[in-house]
RNA sequence: GGAGCGUUGGUCAAGGGGUUAAGACACCUCCCUUUCACGGAGGAAUCACGGGUUCGAUUCCCGUACGCUCUACCA
């Protein structure tokens, strides 16, 4: 007996509270987006934390589509969400796309399941029918400055609380539109423990009588989330902080319907804020400040409104995920670069922040640069090759292409930078920055390069060291400093003041191209 | 308005009664590099405010301010 107690105590001190009592249950989390548009940074981060937590604990990650509002249905949005997840490498264990034992995973297809629970609440006096029209409600809102459908006002409205049983039945039989609302208890303390914020409590009177079942027979989020989390055996529920104020409704629903002991542990994630000023980061901020907010390109089919994605901006999914993980979480060691498997291993809820984080695109770019730099080019060369082809540059030699990518990769922040940084390896530069050469150009240098061409024509070993040696020796003979020659030569070969070492470039583009580019620029300088 | 949640440099953040208050991004200077970048060395810059508790508070408590979120038959 004594020993048993000791073991329990020990156990309690080691195991986080949010896993206590869950030891026998497999961890199951869900991401529950509504398919109304592009997938936002914050959405992906919610997915990520769900995923990391589940995988860290060997659990399941479920995606459930919350499409209970048919007026907001957007064609293609669901497919887009799954494509984003696939791009990020966050594969669901169960979803409408991947199937699973709790199908269907679209709430619109689960419509029939919800009403029985709403009815049960009505039966138990925990919810009621309301017949008020939207117009009547609007009128009330105008009449009272802070109108809420609550203990204060529900007596003055048209609902089964006020109507007699017969009147209610008559209205129902006549086909009068109705909704079911939860009856929020008066002045009750509702509390729960949030994994991130600890004990949170609300007074029940503060919330209004939320609609549970809409006039079209669909549940609202409030009912659907509770019913489905129960049916799908969700153990931990992550969502944005904006949901905190409606949590008491959900806690109450759990208490009424399934019992608090089955309620998942809640975690309300801090918000991702706009870089300047305050407030939630929105697509609008991205447009304004020139950075993507969505994971991938998204065009709203209704408005044709286009939003650029991180993927198309040239981000590696590894970098995108890494950057998102660090927005609100860190492992305490100062390490910032993590692969997905590392994140899974290190992730823990007790290191998730409470406060929101302003999104910093500069830092996001740094993550991508690090990933480009530290990843073998083979990993992304196919994608970069496509970028070259889009720019009208055909790549024929893959081995040489990858050599070039490797040579320039630390100069690239996004994948698209490779085109600018390496196009001149495969195509003669169209624009030569003559203005950068001209001020210090003279006949002496002209003669030098003329002679350099002749020497290059005869060079036997066309490679870096040999070419450098030749230029230096010839510079000495002409009483010129190599430094005065390097920049002109670079511009002749590259077109501008960028790129890797000049002799590396000459070595790769070959004798013919090197000579012809020098000749061409010399002609331009003559003109 | 109400309620809830939050607040360490410009940004992300570590720390958590005694520290010169880590580190990263960005910025500035220098070194390396005969371009740019990478790399290296430095610099500037912070505990929102006011009360407690304490020998001592950035850290604990209480207020205040500020910010955000919610306040739909949207999620």
Query: Is residue A382 located within the same domain as residue A330?
Result: no
CA of A332 to C1' of B15 (A): 10
Structural domains in chain A (count): 4
pLDDT at A15: 55
Instruction: Identify whether A230 is part of a domain.
Output: no
Instruction: Identify whether A257 is part of a domain.
Output: no
pLDDT digits (tens, 9 = 90+) for A446-463: 999 999 999 999 988 899
Query: Is residue A116 located within the same domain as residue A215?
Result: yes
pLDDT at A23: 56
| Helix runs in A202-277, H state only | 221-231, 247-257
pLDDT at A390: 96
Which CATH number fits the domain that encloses residue A212?
A: 3.90.800.10
Q: Which H helix or E strand runs over A139?
A: helix A134-143
Which CATH number fits the domain that encloses residue A489?
A: 1.10.10.350
CA of A467 to C1' of B43 (A): 41
Greatest Cα pair distance, chain A, in angstroms, is 112
A411: nearest nucleotide, CA–C1' criterion: B37
Q: How confident is the model at residue A277 (pLDDT cuts 50, 70, 90)?
A: confident
- Can you give the residue range of the structural domain that contains A403? 377-426
Query: Is residue A174 located within the same domain as residue A201?
Result: yes
Higher pLDDT, A250 or A527: A250
Q: What's the CA gap between A29 and A265, in Å, rounded?
A: 10
**Residue A376, token pair as written in the block:** 């073998």
Per-residue pLDDT at A65 exceeds 90: yes
Q: What's the CA gap between A166 and A7, in Å, rounded?
A: 60
- Report the helix count and the strand count for chain A, using DSSP H and E: 21, 13
A136-150 core/surface letters (b: 16 or more CB in 10 A; e: else): eeeebeeeeeebbbb
Percentage, residues of chain A above pLDDT 70:
95
Q: How confident is the model at residue A145 (pLDDT cuts 50, 70, 90)?
A: confident
Query: Is residue A121 located within the same domain as residue A133?
Result: yes
Nearest to residue A357, comparing CAs of A31, A45, A37, A33? Answer: A45
What value does the mean pLDDT take over residues A223-244? 96
**Is A283 assigned a catalytic role?**
yes
Which CATH number fits the domain that encloses residue A355?
A: 1.10.1160.10
Higher pLDDT, A440 or A111: A111
Report the SS3 class of residue A106.
Answer: strand
User: Last residue of some domain: A225, A249, A267?
Assistant: A225
pLDDT at A24: 67
pLDDT at A20: 56
Nearest to residue A400, comparing CAs of A389, A408, A392? Answer: A408
**Residue A281, token pair as written in the block:** 């980061």
CA of A298 to C1' of B24 (A): 31
Fill in the DSSP letter of residue A40.
Answer: B
CA of A335 to C1' of B55 (A): 38
pLDDT digits (tens, 9 = 90+) for A25-48: 899 999 999 999 999 999 999 999
pLDDT at A467: 93
Per-residue pLDDT at A262 exceeds 80: yes
**Residue A380, token pair as written in the block:** 């992304």
pLDDT at A13: 39
Average pLDDT over chain A reads 92
**Residue A86, token pair as written in the block:** 């696939």
pLDDT at A25: 85
Nearest to residue A33, comparing CAs of A59, A70, A68, A75? Answer: A68
Q: Which residues contact A238 (CB under 8 A, 6 or more apart)?
A: A29, A31, A46, A49, A50, A53, A267, A269
Query: Is residue A219 located within the same domain as residue A166?
Result: yes
User: Last residue of some domain: A362, A391, A426?
Assistant: A426
**Where on strand B do bases come within 7 A of a protein Cβ?**
1-8, 10-15, 22-26, 33-38, 67-75
Q: How confident is the model at residue A17 (pLDDT cuts 50, 70, 90)?
A: low
pLDDT at A278: 79
pLDDT at A527: 76
Report the SS3 class of residue A332.
Answer: coil
| Helix runs in A360-442, H state only | 361-374, 381-390, 398-408, 417-426, 434-437
Query: Is residue A384 located within the same domain as residue A320?
Result: no
Query: Is residue A455 located within the same domain as residue A366?
Result: no
Q: What's the CA gap between A449 and A443, in Å, rounded?
A: 10
What value does the mean pLDDT take over residues A309-329? 97
Instruction: Identify whether A98 is part of a domain.
Output: no
Per-residue pLDDT at A414 exceeds 70: yes
Instruction: Identify whether A181 is part of a domain.
Output: yes
Q: How confident is the model at residue A18 (pLDDT cuts 50, 70, 90)?
A: low
Per-residue pLDDT at A323 exceeds 50: yes
pLDDT at A16: 59
A321 in Cβ contact with A340 (< 8 Å): yes
Q: For residue A511, how many other CB atoms are within 10 A of its CB?
A: 15
β-pairing verdict for A211-213 and A179-182: antiparallel
Query: Is residue A418 located within the same domain as residue A355?
Result: no
Q: What's the CA gap between A239 and A226, in Å, rounded?
A: 13
A72: nearest nucleotide, CA–C1' criterion: B74
SS3 track for A144-185:
CCCCCCCCCCHHHCCECCCCCHHHHHHHHHCCCCCEEEECCC
Q: What's the CA gap between A36 and A412, in Å, rounded?
A: 34
Active-site residue (options: A55, A210, A274, A283): A283
A200: nearest nucleotide, CA–C1' criterion: B4
pLDDT at A109: 96
Q: Which residues contact A398 (CB under 8 A, 6 or more apart)?
A: A381, A385
A502: nearest nucleotide, CA–C1' criterion: B35
Per-residue pLDDT at A14 exceeds 60: no
CA of A35 to C1' of B26 (A): 36
Instruction: Identify whether A242 is part of a domain.
Output: no
Fill in the DSSP letter of residue A29.
Answer: E
Query: Is residue A114 located within the same domain as residue A217?
Result: yes
pLDDT at A9: 33
Instruction: Identify whether A505 is part of a domain.
Output: yes
Q: Which of A65-79, A167-181, A270-284, A332-346 has the lowest mean pLDDT?
A: A270-284
What value does the mean pLDDT take over residues A218-225? 97
| Helix runs in A283-394, H state only | 283-289, 310-313, 317-325, 340-346, 361-374, 381-390
Instruction: Identify whether A467 is part of a domain.
Output: yes
Instruction: Identify whether A236 is part of a domain.
Output: no
Query: Is residue A358 located within the same domain as residue A381?
Result: no
Fill in the DSSP letter of residue A58.
Answer: T
Q: What's the CA gap between A395 and A363, in Å, rounded?
A: 32
Query: Is residue A155 located within the same domain as residue A176?
Result: yes
Per-residue pLDDT at A6 exceeds 50: no
Q: Which H helix or E strand runs over A494?
A: helix A482-494
pLDDT at A526: 85
Q: Confirm whether the ipTM is greater than 0.90.
A: yes
Q: Which residues contact A90 (CB under 8 A, 6 or more apart)?
A: A47, A48, A51, A61, A321
CA of A353 to C1' of B52 (A): 28
What value does the mean pLDDT take over residues A170-195? 94
Per-residue pLDDT at A432 exceeds 60: yes
Query: Is residue A381 located within the same domain as residue A370?
Result: no
CA of A484 to C1' of B44 (A): 36
A145: nearest nucleotide, CA–C1' criterion: B1
Q: Which residue is nearest to nucleotide B69 (CA to C1')?
A: A242
What value does the mean pLDDT take over residues A281-290? 92
In which residue are the tokens 């400055």 written?
A145
A132: nearest nucleotide, CA–C1' criterion: B73
């Amino acid at each position: 007996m004594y020993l048993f107690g000791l073991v329990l105590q020990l156990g309690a001190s080691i195991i986080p509270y949010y896993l206590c009592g869950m030891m026998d249950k497999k961890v199951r989390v869900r991401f529950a987006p509504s398919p109304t548009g592009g997938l936002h940074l914050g959405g992906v981060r919610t997915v990520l934390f769900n995923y990391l937590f589940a995988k860290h604990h060997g659990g399941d990650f479920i995606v459930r589509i919350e499409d209970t509002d048919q007026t907001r249905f957007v064609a293609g949005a669901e497919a887009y969400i799954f494509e984003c997840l696939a791009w990020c490498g966050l594969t669901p264990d169960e979803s409408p796309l991947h199937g699973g034992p709790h199908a269907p995973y679209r709430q619109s297809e689960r419509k029939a399941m919800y009403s029985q629970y709403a009815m049960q609440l009505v039966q138990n006096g925990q919810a009621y029918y309301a017949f008020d029209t939207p117009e009547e409600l609007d009128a009330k809102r105008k009449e009272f400055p802070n109108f809420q459908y609550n203990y204060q006002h529900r007596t003055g409205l048209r609902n089964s609380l006020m109507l007699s049983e017969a009147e209610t039945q008559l209205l129902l039989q006549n086909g009068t539109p109705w909704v079911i609302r939860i009856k929020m208890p008066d002045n009750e303390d509702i509390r729960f423990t949030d994994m991130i914020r600890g004990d949170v409590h609300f007074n029940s009177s503060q919330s209004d009588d939320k609609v549970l079942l809409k006039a079209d027979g669909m549940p609202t989020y409030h009912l659907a989330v509770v019913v489905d989390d129960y049916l799908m055996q969700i153990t931990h529920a992550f969502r944005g902080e904006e949901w905190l104020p409606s949590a008491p409704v959900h806690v109450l629903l759990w208490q009424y319907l399934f019992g608090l002991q089955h309620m998942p542990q809640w975690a309300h994630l801090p918000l991702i804020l706009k870089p300047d000023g305050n407030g939630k980061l929105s697509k609008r901020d991205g447009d304004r400040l020139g950075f993507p907010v969505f994971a991938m390109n998204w065009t709203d089919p209704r408005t044709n409104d286009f939003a650029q994605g991180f993927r198309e901006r040239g981000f590696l999914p590894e970098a995108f995920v890494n950057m998102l993980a660090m927005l609100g979480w860190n492992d305490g060691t100062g390490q910032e670069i993590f692969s997905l498997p590392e994140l899974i291993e290190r992730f823990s809820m007790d290191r998730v922040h409470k406060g929101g984080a302003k999104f910093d695109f500069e830092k996001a770019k740094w993550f991508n640069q690090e990933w480009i730099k530290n990843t073998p080019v083979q990993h992304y060369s196919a994608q970069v090759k496509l970028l070259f082809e889009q720019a009208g540059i055909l790549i024929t030699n893959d081995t040489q292409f990858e050599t070039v990518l490797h040579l320039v990769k630390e100069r690239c922040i996004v994948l698209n930078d490779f085109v600018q940084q390496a196009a001149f390896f495969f195509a003669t530069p169209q624009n030569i920055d003559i203005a950068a050469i001209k001020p210090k150009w003279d006949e002496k240098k002209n003669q030098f390069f003329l002679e350099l061409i002749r020497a290059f024509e005869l060079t036997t070993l066309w490679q870096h060291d040999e070419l450098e040696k030749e230029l230096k020796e010839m510079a000495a003979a002409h009483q010129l400093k190599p430094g005065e020659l390097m920049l002109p030569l670079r511009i002749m070969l590259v077109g501008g003041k960028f790129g890797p070492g000049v002799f590396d470039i000459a070595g790769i583009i070959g004798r013919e191209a090197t000579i012809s580019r020098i000749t061409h620029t010399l002609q331009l300088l003559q003109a």
